Every structure is written in structure tokens, then in C-alpha cells.
């Protein structure tokens, strides 16, 4: 006789039995097999079903008291629902058990899979409750942490120096002091960064400074000040950015990094202001507002034999006076008048032959491709960045509608007011 595996049980038939006399378990099982035999045909014969394992072992629990018997019949089934229902119905056709009159009443047909589903649901509720009590982590924060970890692995090397992956593709590079500084900037999406890795300036950095726009971004402590001094003396630095006082670049937050880079100043301005304006006991450079950003009525006072000096006049004295001939002035003014409102730029050679006319937004890229440009006249404002490119290309004159107060530059910078 085959035994039904517990895992294959689909339904459990349960019935109650009452007998007018004392009966035992073998009597009940014999009555079930005997009185249902042939009732549903050979396909649903209980003996055959049990032999093939489609009906499990029939369990009978009987108690006898005062000459009567009462008990429970349990039949496990792996048949489908219709066949199981037929088997369950045949139990109520049994009228005698052994020598006693008996009656079997069907109580239930349980779907074991439904019981499992109820268990799964209750277990899932308990698991969900536990998760909610612990708190579900913020997915956006998790994603950001993953991105930062990935960015930290993007650090590479160039000629032995730690750097970001965009160092060669970018026309601008940021030079920092150490590997940890590089990792911190890459974490914030800044990939055109390279480290000097030591107190001496590597020749690789010196060579890069001749080819690319270089921004020095050093720590706000004495060590950073000394390293910056060495870099300025050996390399062609274009801009200078300093970490907040007492802080290192590697420990800055994203907000602090981008603020420091926004507040960068030209190297020429740093050399003029950084040496004279820095307190004796502080090696950190504190960026002062540029003159054009300071309100007209504000003045900076210094004591010199009891006299007050106007701050703006002090700044203007640092700007190189541009010497031009009457012929140059005439040509500059004529061209600038023609460009008013066009947002265009004209580039001339030393004989004042037109090399090209381009939109102002393309001026910087165009300048980088030209050989020996002499003068640039355009409908816009001359700023530090354009001055830096003009210096590298050997431009002698930059003439715009307006100009920033740029000091210590070999380029002659003029505005419309200067050539009226």
C-alpha cells in the first residue's frame, strides 16, 4: 500500500462518526472500504486510490463510553477538488460499522494550500511590521552613496601622479596637493584634477601648465601656502583657489569645494593682493571683493601721515596704462562702433588686416586656433578668462564695450570709454 507524501496533499477530508455500540478503528476502516467499493466505479475505488498513493492513510480516532462510540475520520487526498468531493460524499452512505448501526457526518474538506497561503500572509505581515519598525532606508540616499563609492574608484594616474579620468580631455585642470584631495573632488564630479604628491613641484605639472589652463586649489594652512608659493614660482598658474582657513581640500564638503572654486582669482591678482593684504601671522590668502563689485560709496581707509585714501584709486594705480597711437585709437573706435549690438568679435593681425569675424560666444575657442592675433575688438566685456587666453596667444590689445579691473597683464585692455 502506497503512502501519500505530505508535500503532495491537496485536501483533507474530515468527518464525525457515531455508532450505537462499541467499535474499534479496524471496524471503521473496513466499513469505509467495504461499503464504498464499486460505488463510484473503478477509477475512484478507495483501495486502488490508496494503492497508487492518491489517497493517504485513513486516520480514525474512536472513543467508547456507556456502550456508544464517537470519533473522527481523517482522509488526506491528492485528487483534484471534484474527485475529493465525491470521495467525501460517499462517507455519508455508510450505515453500519461492524455489528453496530452507525452514521458518518461530513464536517469539512480543507484545502491545505489555503492554509499555507494564510500562513504566508500572516508571516509576511509580521515581516513587514518589523521592517516598518526598523525604518526603511531612504533609497535616494542609498543611490547617492553608491554613486560616491563608484566615483572614488575612478581615480587613475598620469605619468605617476594621481589624477581624475578627465585630465587629458579637459582644457582646464585643477592642481591639488595629495591623492586624498583628488578622491574628494572626483566624488563631487570634478574629474579634471591632478595632485603634486609632495612638497616639490613635479616637472609633469610644469609641462601641463604650459599647455592647459591651470587652477591651483590648495589647503588653507601653512603647508598649503608654501606649496602654492612653489607652484607659482615654477609653473604658469592661471587661477588660485584656497580652502577655508585651517581646512584641507580632502575634508571639504561639496558646497565648500564649489564655493572655493567660484571664488578663485587670477594668479596675477593673487600675487599683487596676496602678498600685501595678508596678515603677518596668517599664511592664508583671503580673497577681497573685486573693485567692480564694490559699491561706489564704499572706501577703504589706510593711515598714511594722517591722510585718507580712496580704495578705488588705490586699485586703479595697479592697472597698467595702455599706450596707443591716434591711428590705432581711430581704428579701434570705428570697428567697435560697427559692432554695437551685433554680439560679434573681430580679430586683426599687426597690420590691422581682418583675420576673422565670429560670434562673441565662439571668441575664446577661435583665439586658441589662430596664429599671431594682434588685436581683438568685440561687443562684450573683457574678463579674466579672455585675458588669460589672449596672453597665451600673444594678443597685444583687447577692446570691448566694458572691461573688468584686471591688473598686471601684458595685454592692452580697453573699453569703449577709453577710446572715445
Domain positions in the chain: 6-111, 147-288, 326-419
Mean pLDDT, rounded, of the chain: 82
Residue 238: the pLDDT is 92
pLDDT(316) > 80:
no
Q: What is the pLDDT of residues 298-311, one digit of tens each?
A: 333 333 433 334 43
Q: What percent of the chain has pLDDT over 90?
A: 38
pLDDT(289) > 70:
no
Residue 336: the pLDDT is 92
Q: Average of pLDDT values for 54-64?
A: 90
Q: Average of pLDDT values for 272-292?
A: 43
Q: What percent of the chain has pLDDT over 70?
A: 82
**Lowest pLDDT segment from 123-132, 361-370, 405-414:** 405-414
What secondary structure, in 3-state letters, does the chain show? CCCCCHHHCCEEEEEEEEECCCCCHHHHHHHHHHHHCCCCCHHHCHHHHHHCCCECCCEEEEEEECCEEEEEEEEEECCCHHHHHHHHHHHHHCCEECCEEEEEEEEEEEEHHHHHHHHHHHHHHHHHHHHHHHCCCCHHHHHHHHHHHHHHCCCEEECCEEECCCCCCCCEEEEECCHHHHHHHHHCCCCCEEECCCCCCCHHHHHHHHHCEEEEEECCCHHHHHHHHHHHHHCCCCEEEECCCCCCHHHCCHHHHHHHHHCCEEHHHHHHHHHHHCCCCCCCCCCCCCHHHCCCCCCCCCCECCECCCHHHHHHCCCCCCCCCHHHHHHHHHHHHHHCCCCEEEEECCCCCEEEEEEHHHHHHHHHHCCCCCEEEEEEEECHHHHHHHHHHCCCEEEEEEECCCCCCCCEEECHHHHC
- What's the CATH class of domain 147-288? alpha beta
Confidence band of 145 (pLDDT split at 50, 70, 90): low
pLDDT(240) > 80:
yes
- What's the CATH class of domain 6-111? alpha beta
Fold observed for domain 326-419: Cytidine Deaminase; domain 2 (3.40.140)
Amino acid at each position: 500500500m502506497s503512502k501519500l507524501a505530505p508535500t503532495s496533499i491537496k485536501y483533507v477530508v474530515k468527518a464525525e462518526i457515531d455508532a450505537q455500540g462499541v467499535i474499534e478503528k479496524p471496524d471503521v476502516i473496513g466499513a469505509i472500504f467495504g461499503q464504498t467499493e464499486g460505488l463510484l466505479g473503478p477509477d475512484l475505488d478507495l483501495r486502488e486510490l490508496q494503492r497508487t498513493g492518491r489517497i493517504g492513510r485513513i486516520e480514525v480516532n474512536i472513543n467508547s463510553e456507556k456502550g456508544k462510540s464517537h470519533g473522527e475520520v481523517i482522509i488526506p487526498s491528492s485528487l483534484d477538488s471534484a474527485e475529493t468531493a465525491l470521495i467525501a460524499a460517499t462517507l455519508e452512505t455508510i450505515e453500519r460499522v461492524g455489528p453496530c448501526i452507525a452514521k458518518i457526518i461530513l464536517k469539512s474538506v480543507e484545502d491545505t494550500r489555503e492554509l499555507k497561503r494564510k500562513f504566508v500572509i500572516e508571516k509576511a505581515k509580521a515581516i513587514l511590521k518589523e521592517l516598518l519598525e526598523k525604518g526603511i532606508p531612504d533609497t535616494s540616499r542609498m543611490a547617492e552613496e553608491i554613486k560616491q563609492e563608484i566615483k572614488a574608484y575612478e581615480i587613475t594616474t598620469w605619468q605617476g601622479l594621481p589624477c581624475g579620468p578627465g585630465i587629458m580631455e579637459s582644457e582646464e585642470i585643477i592642481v591639488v596637493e595629495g591623492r586624498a584631495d583628488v578622491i574628494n573632488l572626483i566624488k563631487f564630479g570634478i574629474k579634471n584634477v591632478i595632485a603634486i604628491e609632495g612638497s616639490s613641484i613635479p616637472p609633469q605639472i610644469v609641462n601641463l601648465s604650459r599647455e592647459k589652463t591651470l587652477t591651483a586649489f590648495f589647503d588653507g594652512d601653512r603647508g598649503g601656502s608654501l606649496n602654492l608659493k612653489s607652484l607659482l614660482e615654477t609653473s604658469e598658474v592661471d587661477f588660485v583657489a584656497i580652502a577655508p582657513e585651517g581646512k584641507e581640500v580632502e575634508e571639504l564638503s561639496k558646497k565648500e569645494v564649489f564655493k572655493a572654486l567660484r571664488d578663485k582669482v587670477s594668479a596675477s591678482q593673487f600675487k599683487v593682493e596676496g602678498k600685501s593684504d595678508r596678515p603677518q601671522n596668517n599664511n592664508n590668502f583671503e580673497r577681497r571683493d573685486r573693485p567692480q563689485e564694490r559699491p561706489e560709496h564704499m572706501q577703504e581707509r589706510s593711515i598714511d601721515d594722517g591722510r585718507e585714501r580712496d580704495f578705488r584709486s588705490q586699485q586703479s594705480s595697479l592697472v597698467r596704462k595702455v599706450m596707443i597711437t591716434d591711428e590705432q585709437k581711430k581704428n579701434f573706435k570705428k570697428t567697435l562702433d560697427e559692432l554695437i549690438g551685433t554680439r560679434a568679435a573681430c580679430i586683426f593681425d599687426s597690420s590691422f588686416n581682418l583675420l576673422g569675424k565670429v560670434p562673441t560666444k565662439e571668441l575664446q575657442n577661435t583665439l586658441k586656433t589662430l596664429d599671431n592675433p594682434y588685436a581683438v575688438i568685440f561687443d562684450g566685456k573683457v574678463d579674466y578668462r579672455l585675458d588669460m587666453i589672449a596672453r597665451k596667444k600673444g594678443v597685444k590689445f583687447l577692446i570691448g564695450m566694458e572691461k573688468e579691473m584686471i591688473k598686471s597683464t601684458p595685454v592692452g585692455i580697453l573699453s569703449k570709454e577709453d577710446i572715445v
